[in-house]
A and B are shown apart, each in its own frame.
Chain A
Amino acid sequence: LPRLLIVYPWTQRFFDNFGNLSSPTAIIGNPKVRAHGKKVLTSFGEAIKNLDNLKGTYSKLSELHCERLHVDPENFRLLGDILVIVLAAHFGKDFTPACQATWQKLVGLVAHALAHKYH
Chain B
Amino acid sequence: VLTAEDKKLIQQTWGKLGGAEEEIGAEALLRMFHSYLPTKTYFPHFDLSPGSDQIRGHGKKVVAALGNAIKNLDNLSQALSELSNLHAYNLRVDPVNFKAGRGMGTDAKPRFSLQFLSQCLQVTLATRLGKEYSPEVHSAVDKFMSAVAAVLAEKYR
Q: A37 to chain B: closest CB distance in Å?
A: 12
Residues of chain A contacted by B119 (CB below 8 angstroms): 81, 84-85, 104
Given A89-B130, A91-B127, are A112 and B104 also a contact pair (CB < 8 Å)? yes
Given A81-B119, A100-B123, are A92 and B130 also a contact pair (CB < 8 Å)? yes
Give the interface SS of chain B, mostly helix, strand, loop or mixed: helix
Partner among A7, A77, A92, A104 whose Cβ is within 8 Å of the Cβ of B135: A7
Q: For chain B, residues 131 to 157, give those with C-beta under 8 angstroms from any C-beta of chain A.
A: 131, 133, 135-136, 138-139, 142
Partner among A81, A89, A118 whose Cβ is within 8 Å of the Cβ of B107: A118
Interface assignment of A68: CB less than 8 Å from any CB of chain B: no
Interface assignment of B52: CB less than 8 Å from any CB of chain A: no
Q: Which of B10-18, B27-35, B58-66 is found at the contact surface with chain A?
A: B27-35
Interface assignment of B122: CB less than 8 Å from any CB of chain A: yes
- B138 near A115: Cβ-Cβ < 8 Å: no
Interface residue range, chain A:
20 to 34
Interface assignment of B129: CB less than 8 Å from any CB of chain A: yes
CB-CB nearest in chain A for B132: A89
- A108 near B99: Cβ-Cβ < 8 Å: yes
Partner among A93, A104, A112 whose Cβ is within 8 Å of the Cβ of B35: A104
CB-CB nearest in chain B for A115: B107
Q: A73 to chain B: closest CB distance in Å?
A: 5
CB-CB nearest in chain A for B140: A7
Residues of chain A contacted by B104 (CB below 8 angstroms): 112
The 9 A-B pairs at the shortest CB distance, nearest first, are namely A88-B126, A89-B126, A101-B34, A115-B107, A101-B35, A97-B34, A88-B123, A6-B135, A104-B35
**Known contacts A97-B50, A105-B35, A118-B107, then 19 further A-B pairs from the complex at CB < 8 Å, ordered by chain A residue:** A6-B135, A74-B109, A81-B119, A84-B123, A85-B122, A85-B123, A85-B126, A85-B133, A88-B124, A88-B126, A89-B129, A90-B130, A92-B127, A97-B31, A97-B34, A100-B34, A104-B119, A108-B99, A112-B101
